Amino acid sequence: PVVAAAAARSGRRGAAGVAQGLLRGRAGSRGSGREVFEKLTVLRRGLTLSLGTFVGYEAYNLISCVTEVHASFKDVSEEILDQADYLYGSGETEKLYQLLVQHKNSEDAELLWRLARASRDLAQLSRTSAEEKKQLIYEALEYAKKALEKNEANFAAHKWYAICISDVGEYEGIKAKIANAFIIKEHFQKAIELNPKDATSVHLMGIWCYSFADMPWYQSKIAAVLFATPPSSTYEEALHYFQMAEKAEPNFYSKNLLYLGKTYLKLNNKKMALLWLTKAKEYPAHTEEDTQYLDEALRSSSLFCLNFDQGLFLYYFAS
């Protein structure tokens, strides 16, 4: 660089000047020893300043390069995330997975939790074989775990870690499933704490509550044997979270509509149950998952209407 060369030349001239001054002093020139010393001091300061400027300039160059590289990586990462979000919104599950899996060694928590989600979504597709599904479920857990390690303040990392642990429980037996329930609840609660407006985290906390309120008696017995204080909940708690989720983002998820209906049925509020089951039936199916919940809503509402009609018939018959 020009500045570096100038600094070097300045240093060389300063050193030569000092040498000449000293020689003149020793030869008995007119300047006193004090004058020579003063010149030496001034030149030394000039040399130090020149070298300081050179070092500062080189340090600035280095920092600028690092900043540019960091910004470049950041731009690339943001571009990938934008592509990923577009593919997710378009329901392109396989393309999304192929895009993100290329970056599975990333240090970016935002990218990693999206990869966990994509792996899980791919596992849920009907055309995915049982063997592939299991592999993808365990992969998803590893990606979610890594995302959490990279950034514990990322609410989505907590959410997807909890979801993936729950999925893995399907392969590890009832004991592991119940033991993991405490961890799952903890991470859903942390996700809600970090982002109370995320309707999905709130909904999933509702699913957790519903699952344990609706736990079969034999599983409850096993849980009581295995744990001094087994996980438990109520339909009222589940309803609270489903309502919170719907308030945070109305009509955001077919499953939340379905479970509002199912929970009201459990609480024997038939009017509200019919309202939410009807909403679930009318929800547009964008994904395979939506189609599954639509079918369940149809079955639940049909069964409800059948029971309701039978009740009216028996009432009038008895009258």
Higher pLDDT pick, 153 / 217: 153
Give residue-wise pLDDT tens across range 111-133.
999 999 999 999 999 999 999 99
The per-residue DSSP string of 4-46 comes to HHHHHHHHHHHHHHHHHHHHHHHTT-SS-HHHHHHHHHHHHHH
Q: What mean pLDDT do residues 252-263 have?
A: 96
- Whether residue 21 has pLDDT greater than 60: no
- Whether residue 262 has pLDDT greater than 70: yes
pTM of this structure? 0.70
The type of residue at 185 is: K
pLDDT at 112: 98
The answer to whether the Cα torsion of 8, 12, 15, 21 is positive or negative is: negative
- Whether residue 27 has pLDDT greater than 60: no
The topology (CATH level 3) of 172-251 is 1.25.40
pLDDT at 297: 80
The whole-angstrom separation of Cα 307 and Cα 265 is: 12
Residue 92 has phi, psi (to 5 degrees) of: -90, 70
- Whether residue 4 has pLDDT greater than 50: no
- Whether residue 290 has pLDDT greater than 50: yes
pLDDT exceeding 90 applies to what percent of the chain?
Answer: 56
**Least confidently predicted of 1-10, 72-81, 132-141, 305-314:** 1-10
**Least confidently predicted of 27-31, 45-49, 169-173, 312-316:** 312-316
Most confident residue range from 8-22, 24-38, 101-115, 288-302:
101-115
Give residue-wise pLDDT tens across range 229-249.
889 999 999 999 999 999 999
Rounded to the nearest integer, the mean pLDDT of the chain is: 79
